[in-house]
């Protein structure tokens, strides 16, 4: 699971515990971290799905400027409140940073690699291994 600093370990334990329980029904929250490399998370996205069909019904993201977002207590509290406010029954959380924080087609052209995050060029975002 994603690692929070000591000051946020209670929140990490709560999310980990909920994620460990697996699918307990809807609403479901997904928690994902993104960053310029596999070691620095600068973006956190929480998506809430009220039902199985379709995309997320609610989505919030927060970003930092070069500081690991997993160390930001205020952001952790906001995102935890979002999850609790929607009475989420299930939580899914990646155990690692899963890609560049920039959006393809918005921050850089479709089909290309992000020029701001060369680490991710030619890498699988889940295994972090080179694919090209």
Sign of CA dihedral 3, 124, 60, 39: positive
* 12-53 per-position pLDDT tens digit: 555 656 666 667 789 999 999 999 999 999 999 999 999 999
Q: What is the model's pTM?
A: 0.82
Q: Residue 23 has what pLDDT?
A: 73
Which comes out higher in pLDDT, residue 131 or 3?
A: 131
Contact predicate 34/43, CB 8 Å: yes
* 53-112 per-position pLDDT tens digit: 999 999 999 999 989 998 898 998 999 999 999 999 999 988 899 999 999 999 999 999
Structural domains present in the chain:
6-101 (3.30.420)
Model confidence at 7: pLDDT above 50: no
């Amino acid at each position: 699971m994603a690692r929070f600093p000591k000051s946020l370990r209670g929140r990490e334990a709560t999310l980990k515990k909920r994620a460990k329980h697996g699918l307990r029904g809807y609403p479901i929250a997904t928690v994902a971290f993104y960053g310029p490399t596999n070691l620095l998370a600068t973006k956190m996205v929480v998506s809430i799905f009220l039902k199985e069909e379709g995309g997320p019904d609610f989505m919030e993201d927060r970003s930092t400027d070069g500081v690991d977002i997993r160390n930001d207590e205020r952001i952790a509290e906001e995102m935890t409140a979002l999850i609790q406010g929607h009475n989420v029954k299930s939580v899914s959380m990646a155990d690692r940073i899963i890609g560049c924080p920039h959006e393809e087609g918005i921050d850089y052209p479709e089909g290309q690699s992000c020029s701001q995050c060369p680490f991710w060029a030619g890498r699988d975002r889940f295994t972090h291994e080179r694919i090209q």
